[in-house]
Amino acid sequence: MTHIHPAVTNGTFDVEKVRGDFPALSLEVNGHPLTYLDNAASAQKPRQVIQRMVTAYEREYSNVHRGLHFLANAATEAFEQARESVRGFLNAASVDEIIFTRSGTGAINTVASSLGQSIQPGDEIVLSIMEHHSNIVPWHFLRERKGAVIRWAPVREDGAFDFEAFKGLLSERTKIVAITHMSNVLGTVTPIKEIAAAAHAVGARVLVDGCQAIVHMPVDVRDLDVDFYAITGHKLYAPTGVGVLYGKLDLLADMPPYEGGGEMIREVTEDDVTYGVPPHRFEAGTPPIVQAIGLGAAVEYVNSIGRERIAAHEHDLSVYAHERLGALNSLRIIGTAPGKGGIISFEMKGAHPHDVATIIDRYGVAVRAGTHCAQPLLARYGTTATCRASFALYNTRADVDRLVDALVKAQDLFA
């Protein structure tokens, strides 16, 4: 049962009440209140998630499935309830389409390894230039080991996905299309429903990296009609060590398993093995039990506030941040596509991003600096590193103001 969170009263989103749920936000850094703007890398955790995991460890812990004693049954029930929570969050048709993995990276590698077994030399895989390395390197494995050809869909100068150019890459040789739903550098939101329809028209399978999008917008995998959708827990206010792969059940049932071990088999003899059915076929070994329970709690937390309310709050914050940062003449903002999410990457003239991030940390402002695991995208914009400020449901306009004030101080230092 979903608990209606006190941060919502008569449909109004109260960000200060939300902030009260996150212990880390009360910290001070170098004598300043923590301004945490590194959410695209990993989000902070609410007490509701932390306490749910403590309860699982203290009162419900055992290995799941197969056990017949009280704690095994309690752990299994909580673990499978988390699977149902994620199913509803994605609007998947069945809990059998929800596979718990160690991360979003693990989810993508599961698909690449399994589908990759049927890849032939010359088969083509279409990616966008915006992809995170987690949605690039597994496909390079197939290029190296199976002779696959990777083709790259471009973005326009403002960071918008070039759908017409993408369609021009598709052919009967296209076997897999692997595309981010929201860029972790640009914040660009891609037209996944149209991408999936175009890919399916040439017989390709579609995997979506939803690790950023799932945090910031409602996602309906059935409406999008994607074959696979990968998410991670730690960006979604859940713990590290857990991710999810959604896959259409008929596809999962035909796919060979990614790993072998306990739980994923039906029968083992000296001469043969018979694999289990999805999702267990893809959950070899002891799964991330308490992490998955924590993910279920995070999903319920987000649902209790309302994804539309969160999206509206973050949109307002993003617009305000673009206005304030855009007024700083020393900054180059990379990525201004219409409809983008709350992620802003920027460079400061005459200063390396690492130096900028170090200076503003003195004022308690946390941003990410570096390649953001997206080197092909940064190369497209003629750079090797940027600073990135990224927003979550608990951020405020005051956070943006503190970011701008700290950047002004850094700008004066480097001038």
Residues labelled as active-site residues: 373
CB 110 within 8 A of CB 229: no
Alpha helices, DSSP H, located in 32-69: 47-59
Element (H, E) at 112: helix 104-116
| Coil vs helix vs strand at 44 | coil
Element (H, E) at 293: helix 289-305
Q: How far apart are CA 76 and CA 81, in angstroms?
A: 8
DSSP tag of 103: S
| Coil vs helix vs strand at 309 | helix
CB 336 within 8 A of CB 319: no
Q: How far is CA 381 from CA 152, 157, 326, 345, in A?
A: 15, 8, 18, 11
CB 73 within 8 A of CB 67: yes
Q: DSSP characters for 203-221? A: T-EEEEE-TTHHHHS---H
